[in-house]
């Protein structure tokens, strides 16, 4: 179960999300669609914990704590191995050591 309650996100002068609420039960394949700039990627980044400064509340039922995120456009560095890509992007996001 994923419950998104009144989620708002402001980027400087742009209000990307103006109070999104969704309730997605377990076992449901949910499609999030909308025009360019509607805020889909912003919401996915919030769910993936890439964006942490937002208003509202997100609740997961922890049946499976693994979370996968497949972006629309692949952005791996093809000259690196899969593992080195993970190290590279991890470092960009400030991860260190075992993390």
Ligand X SMILES: Nc1ncnc2c1ncn2[C@@H]1O[C@H](COP(=O)(O)OP(=O)(O)OP(=O)(O)O)[C@@H](O)[C@H]1O
The residue of the chain with the least Cβ separation from Mg ion equals: 41
Using rule CB under 6 A, residue 54 touches ligand X: no
Considering only the stretches 20-28, 39-47, 74-82, 89-97, report the one whose residues sit in contact with ligand X under the rule CB under 6 A.
39-47
φ, ψ (nearest 5 deg) of residue 41: -65, -40
Closest separation in Å from C-beta 87 to Mg ion: 26
Binding mask 18-37 for ligand X (x = CB under 6 A): ----------------x-xx
Q: What is the dihedral of CA 75, 95, 56, 20, to 10 degrees?
A: 10
CA distance 69 to 99: 18
Q: What is the DSSP letter of 13?
A: T
Using rule CB under 6 A, residue 41 touches ligand X: yes
Q: Which of 25, 35, 37, 34 shows the shortest CA–CA distance to 1?
A: 25
Considering only the stretches 17-25, 40-48, 51-59, 74-82, report the one whose residues sit in contact with Mg ion under the rule CB under 5 A.
40-48
């Amino acid at each position: 179960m994923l419950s998104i309650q009144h989620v708002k996100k402001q980027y400087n002068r742009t209000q990307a999300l103006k109070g999104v609420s969704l309730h997605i039960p377990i076992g449901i394949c949910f499609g999030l669609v909308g025009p360019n700039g509607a805020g889909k990627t912003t919401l996915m980044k919030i769910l993936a914990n890439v964006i942490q400064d937002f208003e509202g509340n997100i609740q997961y039922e922890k049946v499976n704590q693994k979370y996968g995120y497949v972006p629309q456009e692949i952005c791996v560095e093809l000259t690196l191995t899969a593992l080195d890509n993970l190290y590279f992007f991890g470092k960009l996001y400030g991860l260190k050591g075992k993390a």
